[in-house]
């Protein structure tokens, strides 16, 4: 693996075998994600974006090609934030955030301290002892993000993390993620999203995928300086860039 | 419109319009709900009280044969007598012990089998058809066989209960594991959970509510089974007390036994519910009541 890359995909494909027929879900895909880079992936539904993330997380293996991911202790040094609330209803907010540390057998006091500090950064300090059932959707996704970050993975994988939230809340969480990530020393992130605005605000680079089987149609650098502020959204450059992205994607969405 | 409903207020028709106004339930919801609740509790007593009153009258006035249908007051004094001699407590203790031991074995083996088959398609393919076929075998019919295998001590009765309970818990657990959202397990794996850690932190808590529903059902069933088994075999326990009283034409003692069994089942069910609430503080209160 070339140093400086957190993820390298070479002609990676994935085929799912279902009872009736084989589904060619993804690829071939070639992709390098540099350390510390924030990459956003956009593409039509069903084009294999989640499959790509799950492969990077080590939850699914490629059917062809090779995928190299930075490891720690023999498994991908990556944590995943899922779209649907995959936080555990039977654990309090604190216990959810602490889970990755507990599983790694981090000493209890240290694990508590780290979990509390992530809870504070994601605005959850007042809810440490609450169970997820009593939280709003936005709060739950904050828990999911804090839980993924607490074990300090080198790579953060996010699969449409805000898709289930209403538009205002989505914007609030995007702003928070931007702030947390920029303050956090630039962890590697791969974020799948349907929102071009989200991709343009957060990403260093945007990958546009084709219809299934998903291949990379475009690899677009985002021209905005870091650190960015949420106000960027309202600038004419931002609006123009978002339009440009939409042109790239439009034909694929139409023929989907 | 002449309908007035307490919940939704008055509806009055004025020249082709309907007007809706707050009713008592809307104006003072808290007080209304409280009154409503006390009323519901009160009417819950009406049915049993009338039942016993009618029975008392029918029995003392001679409409019913007092040898078979002794008056509730007679049954009560017999109960007091049986408690004084210790006969009732002793029978209840013996049966409860059998039921609980059998329940414990059944729950543990049913959970283990349910998790194994729920997680592993291979084991499911190997065992599910066979176990499903066994499920419908009437378990009480196995008692003679169990007596042959285990002799006439406590073992055959306990095994009978364990077998019965096993199937309830096995099916509920297996279904719960299989219907567990995939994302729970994936979230665990992506956080680095090994198989045993996933079992402890994810699989077991995820299926615990359904397991407890099946334990509540099983607690009732284990009482039914132990009473049935004591009818036909052995010389102690609450089932024996009921059956024996009947054959000695001591109907009042039989009724005491029947009521005691009903109470025992109720208490056991409440204990299971209470333990469930302790173990599952995240679940809404009385989760699973709707399922029962
Ligand atoms: N475990 C699976 N078994 C069978 N088919 C799957 C599985 N996971 C995904 N697929 C199929 O692969 C395709 C890509 O899925 P996914 O990666 O979820 O797409 P996206 O996230 O881009 O919407 C879809 O057609 C989906 O039905
Ligand atoms: Mg997806």
Of B109, B111, B64, nearest to B213 by C-alpha is B111
Confirm if B241 and B253 have CB atoms less than 8 A apart: yes
- pLDDT, tens digit, for every residue of B64-114? 888 888 888 999 999 999 999 999 999 999 999 999 999 999 999 999 999
| Kind and range of the H or E run holding A101 | helix A93-103
Give the per-residue pLDDT at A126: 92
The pLDDT score that the predictor gives to residue A2 is 57
Between CA A217 and CA A222 the distance in angstroms is 16
**Cα B197 to chain center, whole Å?**
32
pLDDT band (50, 70, 90) for residue B287: very low
Q: Does residue A220 register a pLDDT over 90?
A: no
* CA distances from residue A69 to A16, A29, A191, B187, B188 in whole angstroms, order as listed: 22, 15, 16, 18, 19
| A59: nearest CB among B181, B190, B206 | B190
Domain count, chain A: 1
**Paired tokens of B53:** 């009153």
pLDDT of B53 strictly over 80:
yes
Predicted model pTM: 0.82
Distance, in angstroms, between B174 CA and closest chain A CA? 19
**pLDDT more than 70, % of chain B:** 92
Strands (E), chain B: 4-5, 9-14, 17-20
Would you say the CB of residue A23 lies under 6 angstroms from ligand 1? Answer: yes
| pLDDT at residue B10 greater than cutoff 60 | no
Q: Do the domain assignments include residue A16?
A: no
A159 falls within a domain: no
Predicted local confidence at residue B19, as pLDDT: 83
- Across the interface, whether the CB atoms of A90 and B187 are under 8 A apart is answered no
Residue of A56, A72, A91, A103 best to disrupt the B interface, most CBs of B under 10 A = A103
Residue contact B187–A80, C-beta within 8 A = yes
For chain B, the domains span 1-64, 70-279
Burial class (CB in 10 A: 0-12, 13-18, 19+), A160: buried
Write out the CATH class of domain B70-279.
mainly alpha
* Residues A79/A148, Cβ–Cβ less than 8 Å: yes
> Tell me: the pLDDT tens digits for B244-282?
998 888 888 999 999 999 999 999 999 999 999 999 998
Residue A146 maps to a domain: yes
ipTM: 0.86
Q: Percentage of chain B with pLDDT > 90?
A: 57
pLDDT band per the 50, 70, 90 thresholds, residue B11: low
**pLDDT at res. B224:** 93
**pLDDT value of residue B127:** 93
Q: Helix B121-135 to helix B87-119 angle, to the nearest 10 degrees? A: 140
* Residue B26: predicted pLDDT: 83
Domain encompassing residue A135: 87-152
Q: What is the pLDDT of residue B291?
A: 38
């Amino acid at each position: 693996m070339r140093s400086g890359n957190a993820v390298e995909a070479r002609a990676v494909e994935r085929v799912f075998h279902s009872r009736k027929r084989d589904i060619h879900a993804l690829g071939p895909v070639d992709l390098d994600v540099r350390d510390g880079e924030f990459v956003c992936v956009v593409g039509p539904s069903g084009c294999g974006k989640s499959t790509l993330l799950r492969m990077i997380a080590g939850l699914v293996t490629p059917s062809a090609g090779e995928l190299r991911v930075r490891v720690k202790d023999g498994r991908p040094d990556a944590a995943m934030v899922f779209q649907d609330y995959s936080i555990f209803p039977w654990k309090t907010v604190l216990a959810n955030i602490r889970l990755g540390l507990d599983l790694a057998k981090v000493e209890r006091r240290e694990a508590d301290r780290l979990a509390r500090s992530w809870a504070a950064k994601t605005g959850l300090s007042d809810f440490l002892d609450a169970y997820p059932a009593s939280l709003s959707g936005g709060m739950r996704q904050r828990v999911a993000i804090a839980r993924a970050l607490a074990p300090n993975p080198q790579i953060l994988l996010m699969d449409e993390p805000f898709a289930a939230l209403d538009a205002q809340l989505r914007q609030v969480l995007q702003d928070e993620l931007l702030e947390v990530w920029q303050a956090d020393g630039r962890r590697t992130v791969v974020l799948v999203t349907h929102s071009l605005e989200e991709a343009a605000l957060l990403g260093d680079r945007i990958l546009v995928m084709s219809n299934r089987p998903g291949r990379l149609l475009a690899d677009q650098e985002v021209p905005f300086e870091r650190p960015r502020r949420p106000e960027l959204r309202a600038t004419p450059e931002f609006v123009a860039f978002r339009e440009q992205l939409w042109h790239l994607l439009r034909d694929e969405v139409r023929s989907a | 419109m002449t309908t007035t409903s307490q919940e939704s207020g008055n509806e009055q028709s004025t020249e082709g319009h309907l007007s809706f106004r707050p009713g008592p339930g809307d104006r003072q919801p808290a007080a209304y709900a409280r009154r409503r609740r006390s009323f519901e509790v009160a009417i819950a007593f009406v049915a049993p009280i009338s039942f016993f009153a009618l029975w008392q009258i029918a029995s003392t006035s001679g409409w019913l044969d007092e040898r078979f249908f002794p008056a509730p007051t007679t049954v009560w004094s017999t109960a007091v007598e049986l408690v004084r001699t210790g006969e009732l407590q002793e029978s209840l203790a013996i049966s409860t012990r059998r039921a609980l031991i059998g329940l414990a074995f059944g729950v543990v083996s049913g959970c283990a089998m349910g998790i194994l088959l729920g997680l592993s398609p291979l084991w499911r393919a190997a065992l599910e058809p066979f176990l499903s076929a066994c499920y419908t075998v009437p378990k009480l019919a196995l008692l003679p066989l169990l007596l042959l295998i285990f002799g006439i001590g406590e073992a055959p009765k306990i095994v009978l209960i364990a077998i019965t309970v096993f199937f309830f818990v096995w099916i509920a657990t297996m279904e719960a594991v299989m219907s567990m959202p995939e994302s729970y397990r994936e979230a665990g794996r992506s956080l680095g959970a090994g198989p045993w850690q996933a079992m402890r932190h994810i699989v077991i808590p995820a299926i615990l509510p359904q397991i407890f529903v099946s334990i509540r059902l099983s607690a009732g069933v284990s009482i039914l089974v132990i009473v049935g088994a004591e009818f036909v075999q052995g010389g102690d326990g609450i089932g024996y007390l009921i059956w024996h009283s009947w054959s000695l034409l001591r109907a009042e003692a039989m009724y005491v036994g029947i009521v005691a069994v009903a109470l025992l089942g109720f208490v056991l069910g409440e204990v299971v519910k209470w333990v469930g609430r302790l173990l599952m503080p995240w679940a809404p209160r009385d989760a699973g009541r709707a399922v029962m």
